[in-house]
Every structure is written in structure tokens, then in C-alpha cells.
Amino acid sequence: MRLRRVFWLLPIVLLPLPWFLNQYQQYVLNTALLYVPVGIGFNLVVGNLGLLAFSNVAYFGLGAYASGVLMAQLGVPWWITLLPAALIGGAAGAIASIPALRGVRLFYLAIMTLAFGELMRWTYIRWEALTGGSMGMAVPMPDLLGWSLDTDLRRFYVFLALVVMLVTITDRLLRSRFGRAFMAIKDNEVAAAAMGIPTDLYIVLAFAWGGAVVGIGGAMFAISVGHLTPVSFDLTELLRQFAIIMVGGLGSLAGTIIGAVIVTVAPQVFISFPGFDELVFGLLIILVILFLPRGLASLLARAHPAFVERYYRG
Amino acid sequence: MADSPLLSVRNIEVRFGGLIAVAGVSFDLNAGEICALIGPNGAGKTTLFNAVSGNVVPNGGSIRFRGEEIAGLTPHEISALGGRRTFQNGGLFPELTALENVLVGLHVQVGSDFLGLLFGRSSARAEVAATKRARELLSLMDIEHLAEQKAGALSGGQQRMVEIVRALATNPHLLLLDEPAVGLSPAARQQLAVVVRDLARTRNVGILLIEHAIELVMSVADRVIVLNDGRKVADAPPEQVRADRSVLEAYLGHA
């Protein structure tokens, strides 16, 4: 029954990993790590709450620009910008939940929230004074309490710590009555309300919490790439993020982690064929939908019942 | 509180556009009383139910529950006040297990707040206590062996029982049962009748019941309210209603 705890050994096993990788591989590893929070927020809304909201890229971009702009314009230390990045991502999430509160669902919700992400991308392009427009902006070299985060190796340990923290908190949330309420809303919204669950409040909560976690992912992205351009937050990026939760498994925290790694690492196979890497997301999504509709995490669940993510066990 | 009825419905009116679904219905329900709502299809039974449970906002009239006006409150507010309901079909969470369904029913009683959950020690204790309580509730209805099954995979009768257990989880004062006998075997109907009567007699729950299975109505109800075209045409003990001409007319049309 306690096999799940094996998961907590994972970060310890990962500690020496970057020492065996070259600098580019370390960068890819960091990218996989930062996509864990990005996927967590997306999966919370789409997988657990069951609402087809495609505004994830908006929170991601806002978190990235919030962090980058605060560092570049005001000289705020990176680790402090994590808070405004989370707050702005969370606020954007709350705003994106408005159509859902008005009863907009399915494709209509998908299109409206997709538009939100595109609107933000145009905002980054137009608001040149802050963002540098389509040419982008350089993100200053970050440091953590005087310790320079100037290498991928150093960023790796900070990212790992952040990811462990966010995964722990999310795991707790999902295995509580809140996580169960999200799943109840997904399964049967009317019955959920009849059980005393204030469904509107919980929808806002899931969107805002998801947006905040994604915003932190954006702040990690900002210092990982060191240069922010609006093109990083386009529809292809949305497809990549969607691939993470689809391939990993909708509504599964383990799935989000698996998906973040696969979707980041798999395209590296085609690194010398530009354009092919995007093909990989599409192919991965198609293959998983055909053969593993519940994502790669369902393989884990099939391997051992302890990996079935039921959220009420203490 | 002792004298006033548990539920007091006065002149409730519900319109959908030009259609008057419920036209000025009034009735009282006491604690421990079982009252059946019957009438032909389209008579406004479920709409009246929805008005009481908050799923529909009435256009006029008043609904007092335990002395408090609840007309226009949201379903979760009414649920939190102790008014619970089951649904005509598919009221469960099919992807959740029977146990999880009951745990959702206990939602408001599982004491864990959002921030305490994220940064405090853990909500594990509250969850363990709630899980224990949910299992007890399932065993009261002899369905604890279904605890780990997904609700969507249960038979119709089993689903009804889980739904009733879930509705009872928080010891409600009022229970609205919307056609609970649909799809039940004769044996399961008997069991349902026993459960419903027991709830009213020993736990003093006021029960409002929509049911087409007339033998169930006659055997459990203390009172029968007959609706036709959104109006109340009879409100009397079952044996009296059985003999009432207007009830026959409601079902068979005017001669």
C-alpha cells in the first residue's frame, strides 16, 4: 500500500543526475522540471475539475513576463518575483474562470479561453516598453540570496526544490475534500451542489490555484531561457502543454510529471530536423489517445494498485 | 420550532417562459412525516422539488424550512441547512467509488480549510475520520462490500442505495426522494420502503417523495399530495386519496 512513497525517493535519486549530463542536456532537464508546475495547473483544471480551459499559456506567459520585467526594470531578485508571478498567474486564472461561471462549457469554453491566451500574446507584442515587443527582452542573471544562478547545474537544484514543494502541496490538495470536490464537479455538477459544495467558488479556486502554480512555472522558464519573446507563448506552446497532460494522464499528478519529462525529452530525438519536434507532440497525443486513453500514468496504475490515484486515503 | 412545520410551502409558482409549471401550490411537511407527491407526467412534481432544493428559483411564493426562508437560495446553501435530495436518474458521481460518493456527501463536515491543508500539518486525520464514518453509513444499508466499486459500475438498485446513503450522510432534517423506486426489483423496493419508514420514525426525518410506484406510495406515505397541471388537487392520507374522484380525473382525464 505504501508503494506510492517510492515517488518521494525520486528527487533524491535525481540529485547527482546533472553531473552525468552535458550542459545542453542539463538545460533540457531543467525544462522538463519547469513543465511540471505548468502541467500541474493545467491538469488541475482540465483533468480534475473537468473544464476544457485552454488559457494555460496565458498564466505561463504572465508568470514569465512578471518575473522577467520585475527583474529587468526594478532589479527585484528572482526568488522574490516568484510571489508576484504566482499572484498574477492566479489572478489571470480567476479571470479565465468567468466564462465557466456563466455556464460556458466544452468547445465554447475552449475557444474563449484560447482567445485569452492569444490576447495576452498580442499584449506582449504591443507593450514594447515593458516586454521589448516581438524582439523580446533579456532576463537578467538571477541569483538566490547572493548565490548566482548562472549555470543550468545551479538552476537545476533550485528548480528541483521548487517542483518537490509544488508537487507535495498539490498532492495534499488533491487527496483532501477539495480534490474530491473537484472530481465531483467534473462527474456531476448538479449533484455536487446538492451535496453542499459551493461549485462556483470551487471552480474559481481551481482556476486561480492552477494559474498561480503555472505562473511559478513561467518564472522558472524566464530564467531558464534568459530571453523572453511572445512567440514562446503561442498556440504551439499550448499544444505542447496540452500534450503533457494528455500523454501523462488527465487528472493524474504522476501523469503530469511523466508527461512533462516525455514531452520535453522526446522531441530531442529530432533536434537536427527543425519542425519535426512539434510533430512529436501531435504524434504522442494521437498514439496515447488510441492506445492509452488514460495516459501513461494508467500503465503505473495497472502495474500495481498502490499507484491508482484515489484521493481519500490519508 | 416544536409547533411550526419542518417545511412550509406557500403559493409557490414556477414559470418557464409562458409555461406555468407550478401554479400556486401550498403544503406543510412535519418532521418525521412521509409525504408523497404524485400526479401525471408534466404535473410539476419535479419542478416543485427543484424549487424546494434550490435547483429552480420560484417566480413567486415562499418556502420556509426550519423557520427560515429558503426560496431562491442556492442548492449548496439549502443542502448545508439540512435539506438533501436524490435525483430521478444518475445522481451519483459515476467515476468515483461508492465510498467516495458518500465522502462527497460528507463534504461540509470534513473539517479541513484550504490554507491549513496546504501549509499545516495535514488533513489526514479529518480524512480518516470521514472515511470511517462513510464506511459506517454504507454498512447501515448493508452495502459496505460495494465501497471500492465505481458508482457507475453498480446496478440500478445499488446506485439508489448509495445515493440515499450519500444524502443521509450529514443527518439531514429533510430528504427529497425523486422516484427512488425506478429500476428497483420488488425485493429492493421492499427494502427501500423499510429504509424510508425507518428514517422518518426513528430519525425524525421529514421525507418528500415523488413516486410512480403506487403500491410503494400507499405503503409508506402518511399523506399524499396529488398535482395536476401545476395545481394541487388533493392532499390527504393515502386511503382517502385512493377514493378521491378528482385524482382519478387527474390521471384519466375528464369524462
Question: Of the candidates A180, A193, A312, which has its C-beta nearest B74's C-beta?
Answer: A193
Are the C-beta atoms of residues B209 and B35 closer than 8 Å to each other? Answer: yes
Q: Are residues B77 and B193 in the same domain?
A: yes
pLDDT exceeds 70 at position A3: no
Cβ distance of B76 and A199 shorter than 8 Å: yes
User: How many angstroms away from the CA of A95 is the closest CA of chain B?
Assistant: 20
User: How many angstroms away from the CA of B133 is the closest CA of chain A?
Assistant: 13
Give the pLDDT confidence score for residue A2 in this predicted structure. Answer: 58
Within-domain flag for B2: no
Question: Of the candidates B53, B54, B96, which has its C-beta nearest A183's C-beta?
Answer: B96
Spatial separation of the C-alpha atoms in residues A243 and A241, rounded to whole Å: 5
CATH of the domain at B55: 3.40.50.300
- Domain map of chain A by residue range? 2-14+29-231+303-307
- A273-277, A280-284, B140-144, B145-149 — which is least confidently predicted? A273-277
DSSP letter assigned to residue B144: G
Within-domain flag for B164: no
How does residue B254 score in pLDDT terms, banded at 50, 70 and 90? low
pTM score, whole prediction? 0.92
Domain span holding position B230: 7-82+172-252
Per-residue model confidence as pLDDT tens digits over A84-102: 999 999 999 999 999 999 9
Best residue in A2, A186, A312 to probe B by mutation, most B CBs within 10 Å? A312
First to last CA, chain A: 11
Per-residue model confidence as pLDDT tens digits over B7-27: 999 999 999 998 999 999 999
Cβ distance of B96 and A180 shorter than 8 Å: yes
pLDDT exceeds 90 at position A138: yes
Within-domain flag for B165: no
- H-helix or E-strand containing A147? strand A147-148
Task: Quote the cell numbers at residue A247.
Answer: 500523454
Average pLDDT over residues A290-304: 86
Within-domain flag for B100: yes
- A180-189, A277-286, B221-230 — which is least confidently predicted? A277-286
Cβ distance of B79 and A194 shorter than 8 Å: yes
Q: What is the SS3 assignment for B17?
A: coil
Question: Of the candidates A172, A180, A205, which has its C-beta nearest B104's C-beta?
Answer: A180
Q: Are residues B149 and B181 in the same domain?
A: no
Q: Are residues B240 and B177 in the same domain?
A: yes
Cβ distance of A195 and B107 shorter than 8 Å: yes
Count of domains for chain B: 2
Average pLDDT over residues B234-253: 81
Spatial separation of the C-alpha atoms in residues A129 and A110, rounded to whole Å: 31
Cβ distance of A194 and B117 shorter than 8 Å: no
Question: Of the candidates A188, A192, A196, which has its C-beta nearest B80's C-beta?
Answer: A196
Give the pLDDT confidence score for residue B104 in this predicted structure. Answer: 94
Q: Are residues B142 and B196 in the same domain?
A: no
Q: Do β-strands A147-148 and A143-144 pair in parallel, antiparallel, or remain unpaired?
A: antiparallel
Q: Are residues B224 and B183 in the same domain?
A: yes
Give the pLDDT confidence score for residue B242 in this predicted structure. Answer: 83
Within-domain flag for B88: no
Average pLDDT over residues B224-236: 93
Per-residue model confidence as pLDDT tens digits over A51-86: 999 999 999 999 999 999 999 999 999 999 999 999
Contacts of A180 in chain B (CB under 8 A): 96, 100, 103-104, 107
- The owner of cell 480518516 is B128
Give the pLDDT confidence score for residue A67 in this predicted structure. Answer: 98
Q: Are residues B57 and B178 in the same domain?
A: yes
Give the pLDDT confidence score for residue B243 in this predicted structure. Answer: 84
> Could you tell me how many CB contacts below 8 A there are between chain A and chain B?
110
pLDDT exceeds 60 at position B244: yes
B100 part of contact set with chain A, CB < 8 Å? yes
B104 part of contact set with chain A, CB < 8 Å? yes
Best residue in A170, A176, A183 to probe B by mutation, most B CBs within 10 Å? A176
Select from B157, B183, B209 the last residue of a domain.
Answer: B157
Q: Are residues B67 and B189 in the same domain?
A: yes
- Tell me what percent of the residues of chain B surpass a pLDDT of 90: 64
* Nearest alpha-carbon partner for A71 in A82, A60, A86: A82
